[in-house]
């Protein structure tokens, strides 16, 4: 089927010249998913500008990010998990558990800083447990395993806190949420930007990232190529757990209290953000730039709709529809092109050559 390439230069001794220069293709450049996200972001901004008076206010726009930073923190490591062709449904429960343990540790008289370190350790441990189970039982799908650890982690949080809440954290803890650099840019946003840069660097420039891509495309090929697939899987899941704990600390500062039922349903929002960003749940595809853009698209869409007093139900519908449309677009041309009705329709207008 593959037509042989004819243009190739062949030297006299029969060797062929293969180019190692990347040719810039404008078409390819413009066909990147990220442009679509930029368009969406522009659309959202224009929409908000028209509908909301005084929308273009730098201070407010920066403050708005604080509403979705808790999810944004986990989107990047989640993108890594999806990149491997796996999924982690337990991140929200991990958030709840590490926040709970932080609260309890603080209540028990540990200094806040130590309580935070413990929370981070708990988050990393949760992720590590997911990773270990998946590595030891490769027959099990990550969806099922993290589905059950999701129940377990949340369950442990419930055992510890029951229906109580912990509050009265020191003032500097609240600062994690409220602090602003120069009175405008939230400190937590700076953290997210640095995090995004770190993960982008990790995925796109390092050995580790390349190997993750390889595993997402084919774990077998990666394994046959000497990639330590088990180690990578554990690291990626541990990372997801660790950053879930980071998000939990932020969230506890935002709510200035901790309960066992915080962050319920976050996992699906986080996955949705990554997927809208062009990260395929089948693995092996996606970029951190896309993930970052999609966080902004969904985040500001919510913010704008919220300011317009649109009910949260409308927001749910819009986000759901956006997700489906976004994923459907790349498939649309192909599937419609093959459909019979489309062919017939086309046949009516386009004469056969």
Partner 1 sequence: MILLSEYILELKGITKIFPGVKALDNVHFSLKEGEIHALMGENGAGKSTFIKVITGVYQAEEGEMFLNGEKVTIRGPKDAQNLSIAAIYQHGTAYQQLSVTENIFMGHEKMTKLHTINWRQMHKDAAVLLKQLGSEIDPHSTMGNLTVADQQIVEIAKAISTNAKIIIMDEPTASLSKRECEELYRITEQLRDEGRSIIFISHRFEDMYRLASRVTVLRDAQYIGTWDVDGISNDVLISKMVGREISQIYPKKKVERGEEILRVEGLSKTGYYKDVSFSVHKGEILAMTGLVGAGRTEVCQGIMGIEKPDSGKVFVDGRELKIKQVSDAMDAGIGYLPEDRHKQGLILDWGLGQNVTLATLEQFTTATVINRKAENKRAKELLEKVKTKALSVFDKASTLSGGNQQKVIVAKVLNSDLKVVILDEPTKGVDVGAKAQMYEIMSDLASQGYGVVMISSEMPEVLGMADTILVMKEGRVSKIFPDAAGVTQEMILEAAMNM
Partner 2 sequence: MNKVKKFFSSNIREISLIIVMIVIAIFVQIRSDGNFLSGENINDMLKETAVLAICAVGMMCVMVTGGIDLSIGAIMALGAMIGSTVLKGNQDLPNIVIVLISMGVGLVCGLINGTLVSRLRIIPIIATLGTMNIFRGVTYLVANGSWVKQQEMGQGFLGMATGSFLGINNLIIIAIVVYVVATFFMTKLRTGRKLYAVGNSEESARVSGIKTGRTLTMAYAILGAIAGLGGILYVCKYGVAQGETCVGYEMNVIAACVLGGVSVTGGTGRVPGVLLGAILLGMLNNAMPLIQISVFWQEAIRGLIILLSIIANTLIRRNVEMKALRRRNI
What are the residues binding partner 1 (CB under 8 A)?
A: 1-5, 7-8, 14-23, 205-208, 210-211, 214, 217-218, 220-228, 284
Instruction: Return the range that interacts with partner 2 (CB under 8 A); candidates 53-61, 100-108, 214-222, 320-328.
Output: 320-328
Q: How far apart are CA 83 and CA 77, in angstroms?
A: 10
To partner 1, the closest distance from the beta carbon of 346 in angstroms equals 14
Three-state DSSP class for residue 167: strand
Q: How far apart are CA 52 and CA 57, in angstroms?
A: 11
For 73, what's the count of Cα atoms within 13 Å in the CB-facing half-sphere? 25
- Asked if 225 interacts with partner 2 (CB under 8 A), we say no
- Asked if 52 interacts with partner 2 (CB under 8 A), we say no
Which residue, 306, 326, 273, is CA-closest to 69?
Answer: 273
- Asked if 145 interacts with partner 2 (CB under 8 A), we say yes
List the interface residues with partner 2, window 250-279 (CB under 8 A): 264-265, 268, 271-272, 275
- Asked if 341 interacts with partner 2 (CB under 8 A), we say no
Tell me whether residue 155 or residue 284 sits nearer to partner 1 (CB atom).
Answer: 284
141 binds, among partner 1, partner 2, none (CB under 5 to 8 A by kind): partner 2
To partner 2, the closest distance from the beta carbon of 353 in angstroms equals 28
Q: How far apart are CA 196 and CA 319, in angstroms?
A: 22
Determine the length of the chain: 353
- Asked if 307 interacts with partner 2 (CB under 8 A), we say no
Backbone φ and ψ for 277, nearest 5 degrees, come out as -75, 0
171 binds, among partner 1, partner 2, none (CB under 5 to 8 A by kind): none
Q: How far apart are CA 82 and CA 165, in angstroms?
A: 33
To partner 1, the closest distance from the beta carbon of 343 in angstroms equals 10
- Asked if 311 interacts with partner 2 (CB under 8 A), we say yes
- Asked if 37 interacts with partner 2 (CB under 8 A), we say no
What one-character-per-residue DSSP string does 254-267 give?
HHTEE-TTTTTTHH
Backbone φ and ψ for 278, nearest 5 degrees, come out as 95, 10
**Do residues 177 and 254 lie in contact, with contact meaning Cβ atoms separated by under 8 Å?**
yes
Q: In what helix (H) or strand (E) does residue 62 lie, and over which residues does it extend?
A: helix 58-64
| Residue ranges binding partner 2 (CB under 8 A) | 87, 133, 137, 139-141, 143-145, 147-156, 158-159, 162, 264-265, 268, 271-272, 275, 280-282, 311-317, 319-321, 323-324, 327-328, 331-332, 334-335, 339
């Amino acid at each position: 089927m593959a037509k042989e390439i004819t243009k190739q230069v062949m030297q006299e001794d029969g060797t062929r010249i293969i180019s190692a220069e990347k040719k810039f293709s404008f078409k390819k450049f413009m066909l990147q998913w990220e442009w679509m996200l930029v368009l969406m972001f522009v659309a959202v901004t224009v929409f908000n500008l028209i509908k909301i008076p005084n929308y273009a206010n730098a201070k407010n726009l920066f403050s708005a990010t604080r509403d979705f930073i808790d999810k944004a923190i986990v989107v990047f490591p989640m993108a890594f998990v999806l990149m491997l062709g796996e999924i982690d449904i337990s991140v929200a429960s991990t958030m709840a558990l590490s926040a709970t343990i932080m609260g309890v540790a603080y209540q028990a008289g540990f200094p806040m800083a130590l309580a935070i370190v413990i929370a981070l350790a708990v988050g990393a441990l949760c992720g590590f447990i997911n990773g270990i189970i998946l590595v030891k039982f490769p027959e099990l799908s990550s969806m099922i395993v993290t589905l059950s650890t999701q129940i377990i982690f949340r369950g442990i949080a419930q055992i510890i806190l029951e229906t109580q809440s912990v509050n009265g954290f020191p003032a500097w803890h609240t600062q994690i949420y409220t602090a602003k650099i120069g009175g405008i840019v939230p400190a937590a946003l700076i953290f997210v930007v640095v995090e995004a840069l770190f993960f982008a660097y990790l995925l796109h420039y390092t050995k580790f990232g390349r190997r993750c891509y390889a595993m997402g495309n084919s774990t077998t090929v990666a394994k046959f190529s000497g990639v330590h697939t088990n180690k990578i899987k554990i690291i990626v899941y541990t990372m997801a757990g660790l950053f879930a704990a980071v998000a939990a600390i932020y969230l506890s500062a935002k709510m200035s209290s901790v309960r066992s039922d915080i962050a319920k349903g976050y996992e699906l929002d986080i996955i949705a953000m990554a997927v809208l960003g062009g990260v395929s749940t089948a693995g092996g595809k996606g970029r951190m730039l896309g993930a970052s853009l999609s966080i902004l698209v969904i985040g500001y869409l919510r913010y704008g709709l919220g300011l317009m007093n649109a009910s949260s139900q409308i927001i749910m519908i819009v986000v759901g529809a956006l997700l489906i449309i976004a994923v459907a677009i790349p498939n649309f041309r192909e599937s419609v092109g093959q459909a019979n009705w489309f062919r017939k329709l086309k046949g009516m207008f386009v004469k056969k050559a």
